[in-house]
Amino acid sequence: MSRLPVSDIGELFQDLDKQRGAASFVLAIFLFTVVFPIHLWRNMLGYALWPVWSLFFLTFLAMVAWAFDLFRWRWLYLLGTELASVGAAALFHWWGARTSPSWALAAHGEGGGVVGWALYEAFHAVLSGPGALLGGVIFFLFGLACWLPALPMWPKWAEQMREQLPESWRIFMEAARDQEELVSGAGGTSPVSVVPQPHRRRKVKLPPLNILSGDRGGRMGAREANAMARVIEDTLASFKVPAKVVSIRRGPAVTQFGVEPGEIGVRRGGETVQQRVRVNKIVSLQNDLALALSAAPIRIEAPVPGHSYVGIEVPNPEVAIVSLKGVISSRAFKKLGSRLAIGLGRDVAGEPLVADLSTLPHLLIAGATGSGKSVSVNSILVCLLMNNTPDTLRLLLIDPKRVELSAYNGVPHLISPVINDPEEAAKALHWMLLEMDRRYRFFADTGVRNIDDYNLGAVEKPIPHIVVAIDELADLVLTFPVDVEHAITRLAQMARATGIHLIVATQRPSVDVVTGLIKANFPARIAFAVSSSVDSRVILDENGAERLLGRGDGLFMSPRKSTPIRFQGCYVSDSEVTAVINFWRAPGHEGETEPEGEKAPWDGMQSQGEGSDGDDELIRQAVELLQGRENTSTSWLQRRLRLGYPRAARLMEELEARGIVGPDEGAGRGRKVLVAEDADEVG
């Protein structure tokens, strides 16, 4: 039998959240401290020491479950432990006092000890003899009732904790369970022959959660937050704007202070009427508040959706690092129950911010250089790789910068190696359009509406989802503006039902890159820090992104929310990305999808307008447009034929070689049209 490595114990507890883990260890130290002088506590609690010890041990287990972020801790549980403990002490003392003097029991550490004696005497003095028994029973039952809401959740918590154990622990437990089933299956009164089972499809394991790192860094302290709340109230009062801080939500990057406007006296018709302070007065004092708090920039959300106060978001002195592991292991992420669930980060209250890519259904990410855009793309890709095998998800990665996504080469989820060439990317997007049309025809033949309906009743191999990730859209749009914009727009409009989703990122949020057609089909957008309010309006159609802090501080516009949600994005280090990639590169994790090899599906496919037939057709169209004109230019030809600039330039060179147009005269004068032929005579 294999033994559990001792090193995994340290690995298990190192992964706990620091604050919640600290609370668990503090409680553990407290337990060992109070029960160490056993004779002292025996005199105080008597025989009730053992049930009290058990109740405190259950409380310790609950704190550990809280440290694993399996449920929200309620101090009602601790109150229930205390009430049940003193109730048990009173009951034990009542039982012993039936045959022995009350104080003699307490002096010898029997019955309920000194605590039980005190409660017994109090109940006896107020409620007489039967009342002493009734008081102990009420205390004990009420203490247990405090734990009733948590009892149905213990099996679920145990299963979730088992999933977060180190890999070697799970392997040992599975092996022990299989051995137990084999022994129990072979037992019985009559000999049973072991019949070989038919071959079953091999189940591909997903990466373990412990290969990711936990959160690092803390939030703003309560004392510092309270001091800032007083500064906010005093600053507003100095400008004759009465207000009160009614809420403090401490997040990883900013702390949101909920300010409720007060009332001021207004003269109306000779009488003084109390009127509520206008929200605009608080918003207009944004710079004065930043000066008073010595924190810039601050952001004011007026009002906070769902609340009757104004939110003033103040940067924390130290930004906490939000880990992808903490978001994936949260209840909010598991509640989605989708293979395309993605963890974005944590909001201003520290709660996990998650989304389902299948319902977004596409995502546009924009921000200035160094704002956290590429890290966000990496965290989304790692999140998808943590929850999907190659049989359920395929990836098409386009990285014109050649440095951000190249590390994913070799992952079995890839349709082709990471694409770095813009021309190759245009072909890949055109192939994706053909794949979308093929899937639609297949769904029409099988009588289903979308990929989920087909996979739900699929007898054969299910159809995998496809996620297309583009790390820099600006380079593609500037190189092949028409082809790329047309492909992205059409995919964004129609590809959702076929299981094809887009994640597009750009560091140049301008109207010539993020065009109106692209924005109209990307209702879900993430804006990181930008340099101006103009860029913010391009991304979000409103101001706000220019006041972000950078380094992962972003605004998430969800199709289901009317206002953007501020959050701190997940940080995934290079070592974590490498660990996940190496897991899938290892032998035995290829899944059942046939490897694509080094050849992409679109190899040998000509892009739009290429080839001899395409050239002849374009030349005929160009000659028809040139008839009756004296001058022309490459940009004019590009606009009229809806081509990319490189393709239009090659076409103009071909027209010059055939003597249809003259050479470029420079200085913006274009070219002269030499021959006005009929379209039928060209070629």
CATH code for the domain in which residue 430 is found? 3.40.50.300
Instruction: Look at strands 524-528 and 363-366 and give their pairing.
Output: parallel
Measured CA to CA, the distance from residue 392 to residue 515 in angstroms comes to 32
Q: Which pLDDT belongs to residue 38?
A: 55
Rounded to 10°, the helix 634-641/645-657 angle is: 120
| Global pTM value | 0.64
- Residue 266's region, left for phi above 0, alpha for psi from -120 to 50, else beta, is beta
Q: What is the pLDDT of residues 297-329, one digit of tens each?
A: 899 998 888 888 999 999 998 888 999 998 998
In CATH, what number is assigned to the domain containing residue 672? Answer: 1.10.10.10
Residues of the chain with pLDDT under 70: 1-83, 85-136, 139, 142, 144, 147-204, 218, 458-459, 588-599, 603-615, 644, 667-668, 675-683
**Residues 478, 375: one domain?**
yes
Q: Tokens 């990305």 label which residue?
A: 577
Measured CA to CA, the distance from residue 184 to residue 134 in angstroms comes to 48
Q: Which pLDDT belongs to residue 122?
A: 66
Q: Which of 276, 291, 315 is the last residue of a domain?
A: 315
Torsions phi, psi for 34 (to 5 deg): -80, -25
Q: Which pLDDT belongs to residue 638?
A: 80
Tell whether 641 is covered by a domain: yes
Q: Which pLDDT belongs to residue 595?
A: 42
Q: Which pLDDT belongs to residue 16?
A: 42
Tell whether 363 is covered by a domain: yes
Q: Which pLDDT belongs to residue 182?
A: 39
Task: Read off the tokens for 472.
Answer: 């820099």
Number of domains present in the structure of the chain: 4
Q: Which H helix or E strand runs over 257?
A: strand 254-261
Buried b (16+ CB within 10 A) or exposed e, 468-487: bbbbbbbbbbbbbbbbbbbb
Q: Of 380, 396, 474, 377, whose CA–CA distance to 435 is shortest? A: 396
Residue 189 has a CB neighbour count (10 Å cut-off) of 5
Q: Which of 128, 159, 190 is the last residue of a domain?
A: 159
Q: Which of 159, 184, 214 is the last residue of a domain?
A: 159
Tell whether 328 is covered by a domain: yes
Measured CA to CA, the distance from residue 527 to residue 565 in angstroms comes to 10
Q: Tokens 């060209």 label which residue?
A: 682
Angle, CA 466 vertex, CA 461 and CA 467 arms, to 5°: 155
**Residues 53, 154: one domain?**
yes
Are 528 and 369 in contact, with CB atoms under 8 Å apart? no
End-to-end CA distance of the chain, in Å? 80
Q: Which residues contact 169 (CB under 8 A, 6 or more apart)?
A: 4, 8, 12
Length of the chain: 683
Q: Which pLDDT belongs to residue 506?
A: 93
Rg over alpha carbons for the chain, rounded to the nearest Å, is: 34
Task: Read off the tokens for 450.
Answer: 């979308």
**Residues 437, 478: one domain?**
yes
Are 302 and 279 in contact, with CB atoms under 8 Å apart? yes
Are 339 and 328 in contact, with CB atoms under 8 Å apart? no
In CATH, what number is assigned to the domain containing residue 247? Answer: 3.30.980.40
Q: What is the pLDDT of residues 557-590, one digit of tens each?
A: 998 888 899 999 999 999 999 999 999 988 766 5
Tell whether 148 is covered by a domain: yes
**Residues 141, 245: one domain?**
no
Q: Which pLDDT belongs to residue 120?
A: 63
**Residues 335, 271: one domain?**
no
Tell whether 556 is covered by a domain: yes
Tell whether 196 is covered by a domain: no
Measured CA to CA, the distance from residue 107 to residue 145 in angstroms comes to 32
* Residue 24 C-beta-side C-alpha neighbours within 13 Å: 20
Tell whether 197 is covered by a domain: no
Q: Of 26, 12, 139, 23, whose CA–CA distance to 73 is shortest? A: 23
Instruction: Look at strands 393-398 and 363-366 and give their pairing.
Output: unpaired
Residue 73 has a CB neighbour count (10 Å cut-off) of 14
DSSP conformational letter for 419:
B
Q: What is the mean pLDDT of the chain?
A: 76
**Residues 249, 154: one domain?**
no
365 DSSP β-pair partners: 505, 526
**Residues 13, 120: one domain?**
yes
HEC assignment per residue over 158-207: HHHHHHCCCHHHHHHHHHHHHHHHHHHHHCCCCCCCCCCCCCCCCCCCCC
Rounded to 10°, the helix 286-293/222-238 angle is: 130
Are 389 and 206 in contact, with CB atoms under 8 Å apart? yes
Task: Read off the tokens for 657.
Answer: 């070689």
**Residues 507, 577: one domain?**
yes
Measured CA to CA, the distance from residue 506 to residue 485 in angstroms comes to 14
Burial class (CB in 10 A: 0-12, 13-18, 19+), 356: middle
Domain limits at 280?
222-315
The residue type of 289 is: L
**Residues 494, 616: one domain?**
no
Q: Which pLDDT belongs to residue 179?
A: 44
672 DSSP β-pair partners: 631
**Residues 347, 462: one domain?**
yes
**Residues 19, 124: one domain?**
yes
**Residues 292, 310: one domain?**
yes
Measured CA to CA, the distance from residue 123 to residue 117 in angstroms comes to 10
Task: Report CA-CA distances (Å) from 463 to 262, 267, 497, 673.
Answer: 58, 71, 12, 53
Tell whether 676 is covered by a domain: yes
